[in-house]
Homo-oligomer: A and B are copies of this chain.
Amino acid sequence: MVLLDGKFISEKIKEEIKIEVQNIKNRGGRTPHLAAVLVGNDGASLTYVGSKVRSCEKVGFESTLIHLDENISEDNLISEINKLNDNDQIDGYIVQLPLPKHINEEKILMMVNPKKDVDGFHPFNFGKMAQNMDSFIPATPQGIIELIDRYDIDTEGKNTVVIGRSNIVGRPISILMSNKSKPGNSTVTLVHSRTPDIPSFTKKADIIIVALGIPNFLKSDMIKQGSVVIDVGITRVADKTKNKGYRIVGDVDFESVKTKVSYITPVPGGVGPMTIAMLLKNTLKARINN
Contact = CB atoms under 8 A, between A and B. Distances in A.
Nearest to A195: B187
A128 B133 contact: no
Interface residues of A, number: 34
A201 B175 contact: no
Given A187-B189, A190-B187, A122 B130 contact: no
A271 interface: no
Contacts of A122: 127
Contacts of A56: none
Contacts of A125: 123, 127
Given A188-B189, A190-B187, A201-B187, A157 B124 contact: no
A167 B179 CA distance: 10
B123 A127 contact: yes
A95 to B, nearest CB: 15
Instruction: Kindly name the residue among A127, A165, A171, A191 whose own CB sees the greatest number of chain B CB atoms within 10 A.
Output: A127
A185 interface: yes
A61 interface: no
A23 interface: no
A46 B122 CA distance: 36
Contact of A178 (B124, B133, B190, B201): B190
A175 B170 CA distance: 12
Contacts of A192: 178, 185, 187
B187 A157 contact: no
A119 to B, nearest CB: 13
Interface string A143-173: 0000000000000110000000101000100
A130 B133 contact: no
B127 A128 contact: yes
A247 to B, nearest CB: 31
A114 to B, nearest CB: 9
A131 interface: yes
A194 interface: yes
20 contacts: A123-B123, A123-B125, A123-B127, A123-B131, A123-B133, A123-B135, A124-B124, A126-B126, A126-B127, A127-B127, A127-B128, A157-B194, A157-B195, A157-B196, A165-B179, A165-B180, A180-B194, A187-B189, A187-B191, A187-B192
Given A123-B130, A127-B130, 14 more contacts: A122-B127, A123-B123, A123-B125, A123-B133, A123-B135, A126-B131, A127-B127, A130-B130, A130-B171, A171-B175, A185-B192, A187-B189, A187-B191, A188-B190
